[in-house]
Structure formats: C-alpha cells, structure tokens
Amino acid sequence: MGVAVEVSGLTKSFGSQNIWSDVTLTLPPGEISVLLGPSGTGKSVFLKSLVGLLKPERGSIAIAGTDIVRTSESRLYEVRKLFGVLFQDGALFGSMNLFDNIAFPLREHTRKSESEIRRIVLEKMDMVGLQGAEGKLPGEISGGMRKRAGLARALVLDPEIILFDEPDSGLDPVRVAYLNQLIVDLNAQIDATFLIVTHDIGTARTVPDNLGLLFRRHLAMFGPREQLLTSQEPVVRQFLNGRREGPIGMSEEKDVAQVEAEMAALEARGGDQHNGVGPKGATGGDAVPPQLDPSPGLPERRAVRRRQERVARMLHEFDPATAAAIRASLPADLLAQADAGLFGPTPAPGGRHWAAEPGATAPTVVLPRAGGDG
C-alpha cells in the first residue's frame, strides 16, 4: 500500500509574493486525492514542494518518517524514489521511442538487465493500454497516448506515491473520461497514494476519495469526497458548480459586499443547478454523486472502504441534512456500527489525526479563515 504524506504549516513565497500559507493536510495512504483551485493558486508549486524541487519557507512534509524540508540531499534522493510523477505534457524525450522513454528511469536508477527492463516496460505499457506502440516516437502519437506513456514511465519504479500535474490538460472530454478510468483502475491494482492537480470538475466529482481546494493563498478545505461534495462553503460550491456567483473573481477575489449581493441574487433565482454540487437527495440535502468503479475484472479499490470507515466516524460532526445525504452513500454495515457507537471519537475539527484503527490515516479539514486573505 502507498504511504501517507503529512503536510503541516507549509508556507511558500517567491520573493515578496506569497503563494500560499499554513497549508496542513494528510494524504491518506493508498487513496486518490484531488487538489483544486482557481488558476494561479499554486497547485503545481505544491506538487513540486512535495518532491523537494521547491523548498518552502516554513512547515514540514513528512514522508515515510522523513521531513523532506529539513533532510539531507542524500536522504531526499532516497525519498524521491517513492514518487512517480506525470507531468502536464508527459515530458517525453522527442528523439526516443516510447519503449526507451519508459525504460529511461530503470536504466538510470537501477542495475536491472535489459531482459528484466523489457519485461517491466511491457508490463507497464500493457497496464496503460499501449501494447504494440513500443517503437513509436512521441511526435507520432496523440496527446492522450503521450499522457499514457508518461504515466507508464511514472510507474516503472513501482512508486508508492504518484503525482498527476493536470493530467487532463490538452485533452478532449472523451479522452479525459478514459484517463480518469485508467487512474481508478491503476489505483485498484497497485493501491498507491495518488494526488491529482486539476481544474476538471468532472474529475473532481467522480474520481477521488478526498478533495482539497486552494483559495486566497490558503487551503480552504480538505477532506473526504462526501464532505466536500455536500459542502455549503460558498467557495467550494462556486468552484464545483462552475458558476460566476461567489468569492472567486475573473482576476482576483471579490469583496464581501459583492459576494453577498451575488449570492442573494442567486438564491432568488432558485440557487445552484440541483441546489448544490450534487443532485438533490430525497433527504433534502445534496446527494453525493457516484464514484467511478474499477473496470470489470479488476479488484475492488481497498481505498474506498478505508475512506467510508473514516466518513462513518465523522457523521456526528455534520449538520442533519448533510449527514442524511452522506448516510445515503455509505454501506449499511458501517451505518450500523456508527449508530451503535462502535467507532471511536474524533478530535475537534482542525486536528491532524483522527481516532481510527491501527494504520488508518485521515485527512485534515482546514476551515476557511474569516476576512482578509483567509
């Protein structure tokens, strides 16, 4: 199973320009997390910080017992071996065919024989649906195939953490749907920790176990999909509904008076489509939209059960309408355990760790700051 990534109090600036401050979250091991945010909020900067390519001014990033912000270069090199990264454009070498592109990390970082390298490369190409394309050059294939080749290369060292930097960039909606299914299928097979940076609302609604939103140079919220997709926070609802009314402006955040006027007008028109980010549920709350399942023949994603157990522990923290909508999405046996009080208590919101069974890890919810840039 993948490893947890525990981020605490992370702050990053370039000169006098603050990118984000005090970001605290835990990426649960083996689960798929998505990080959303308006353009220019530093999502890609966050990914580069996680692998040690950028050094934050404050905070810590704990991975496999190592704080990579303060560790030595030699230890950082070892921790980076836990990562696989899919860059926006695939980052393939144009003069190499796909086989050599995908084999490159194995030849650079291992002493495996060419026969072993061939076995691994062909296995990963098969996993991403590129059988028979070994001899093609990156310039001879579509953008979607280049993404898949980049993903195969990210997989060859069997990483425990995989980062996706806007994997849907440059792809049409059909290819995005195929890529989303591929991501879910891969997680079912390797149970690694995935973090996806994206603008795509469809991806955010259907793929991840956890969702986060960067806004106003802070992490506005991070938590299980059930929590974010039923959230009443204006910035979360605005982004996941893709509408103009709300705190996010075209080039900058709006002032409070403008937001209040827009929200009042929106409410007068009947609110969001479906009255929220999900369809209206029979309980009166926003129903949790369904999550993508692995393709037929693949194992169930173990991450789903781990997340649902965590959400069942959190049910008492939600308002009645939200809790009712979330209950409708959870398995009956977990609801029975929650109703019987069999789950341990969780600490107050904002705590880094949740009461859980040994080995379980939960994301932190960071509530939006009131006023200023929070």
User: Residue 97: what pLDDT?
Assistant: 96
pLDDT at 257 > cutoff 90: no
pLDDT (tens digit per residue) in 132-176: 999 999 999 988 899 999 999 999 999 999 999 999 888 889 989
List, for residues 107-132, the tens digit of each pLDDT value.
Answer: 998 999 999 999 999 999 999 999 99
Domains in the chain, please, with CATH?
Answer: 5-95+139-214 (3.40.50.300)
Per DSSP, 245 falls in state S
Bridge partners (DSSP) listed for residue 219: 214
> How distant, in Å, are the alpha carbons of 85, 104, 114, 263, 266 from that of 154?
5, 10, 19, 43, 44
How high does pLDDT run on average in the chain?
A: 82
The amino acid present at 49, given as its one-letter code, is: S
pLDDT score recorded for residue 253: 53
* Contact (CB, 8 A) for 180 and 203: yes
Residue 207: its pLDDT value, please? Answer: 96
Please, what sign has the CA dihedral across residues 51, 192, 187, 135?
Answer: positive
Contact status, residue 153 vs residue 102, Cβ threshold 8 Å: yes
User: Rounded to whole angstroms, what are the CA distances from 163 to 25, 123, 155, 210?
Assistant: 16, 20, 11, 14
**What tens digit of pLDDT does each residue of 24-51 get?**
999 999 999 999 987 778 888 999 999 9
Give the residue-averaged pLDDT of 57-83.
94
Name beta bridge partners: 195: 33, 163
In this model, does residue 18 exceed pLDDT 60?
Answer: yes
Given a cut of 80, whether residue 224 has pLDDT beyond it is yes
pLDDT in tens, 328-350: 999 999 999 988 888 765 543 33
**pLDDT over threshold 80, residue 289:** yes
The pTM for the full model equals 0.82
